[in-house]
């Protein structure tokens, strides 16, 4: 991972943390505390989601890196401010996948199944993080840690469901067009976690 990719992930995580913590001009006094809570929760949810995509893309022999979408981050912040934090638009960027080319010029392309697995990795990571946060919440932590873990459950379940919507370019579309059965199982699991946790 090079400096630019780390910088893109860091900037995206900070902007998303603001988007999730801002709740209007009248609540500015609570913004610093909410931002710190969001910075822990949202950063882990977002960064591990993207790294899961990146890991599986590279596992299947492709070159993959996260690339920030500056316009998407601007829209995310703008929508949050204009709606008093009531509307979320989360499009910070994506893991861009490039096929590898060997010494003989052969292009290593991923199959539809591999693409579906790469796409499922992000939302699945969010579900794992939501369950882990729930289990950690059972321990008698201090109030701030409990708030971080509770917020982590909300953010991770929301990110999983949102990304599984079967509309391009969201992850759900690539899973859905490969296997409706796969998509149904993963999507219903994310819904169950959302309502149970």
- pLDDT, tens only, 20-58: 999 887 788 888 999 999 999 999 999 999 999 999 999
Residue 195 burial (CB < 10 Å; 0-12/13-18/19+)?
exposed
- Is 138 exposed, middle or buried, given 0-12, 13-18 or 19+ CB atoms closer than 10 A? exposed
The yes-or-no answer on residue 50 being catalytic is yes
Question: 188: Cβ–Cβ under 8 A, 6 or more apart, which residues?
Answer: none
Q: pLDDT for 110-122, tens place per residue?
A: 899 999 999 999 9
CB distance 188 to 164 below 8 Å? no
In this predicted structure, the answer to whether residue 188 has a pLDDT above a threshold of 80 is: yes
Q: Give the global pTM.
A: 0.92
The CA distance from 191 to 196, in Å, is 8
Q: Which value, to the nearest 10 degrees, does the dihedral of the CA atoms of residues 17, 87, 85, 70 take?
A: 40
Greater model confidence, 24 or 124: 124
Q: What is the pLDDT of residue 147?
A: 93
So what's the pLDDT on residue 24? 80
pLDDT in tens, 141-174: 999 899 999 999 999 999 999 999 999 989 999 9
Split at pLDDT 50, 70, 90, the class of 96 is very high
């Amino acid at each position: 991972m090079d400096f630019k990719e780390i910088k893109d992930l860091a900037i995206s995580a900070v902007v998303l943390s603001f988007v999730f913590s801002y709740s209007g001009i009248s609540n500015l006094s609570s913004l610093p505390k909410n931002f710190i809570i969001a910075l822990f929760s949202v950063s882990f949810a977002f960064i591990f989601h993207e790294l899961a995509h990146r890991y599986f893309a590279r596992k299947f022999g492709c070159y993959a890196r996260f690339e920030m979408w500056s316009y998407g981050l601007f829209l995310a912040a703008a929508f949050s401010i204009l709606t008093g934090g009531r509307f979320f638009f989360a499009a910070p960027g994506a893991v861009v996948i490039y096929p590898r080319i060997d010494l003989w010029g052969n292009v290593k392309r991923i199959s539809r199944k591999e693409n579906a697995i790469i796409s499922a990795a992000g939302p699945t990571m969010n579900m794992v993080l939501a369950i882990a946060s729930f289990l950690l919440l059972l321990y008698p932590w201090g109030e701030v840690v409990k708030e971080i873990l509770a917020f982590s459950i909300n953010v991770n379940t929301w990110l999983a469901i949102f990304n599984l919507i079967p509309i391009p370019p969201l992850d759900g579309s690539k899973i859905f067009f490969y296997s409706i059965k796969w998509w149904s199982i993963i999507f219903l699991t994310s819904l169950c976690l959302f309502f149970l946790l």
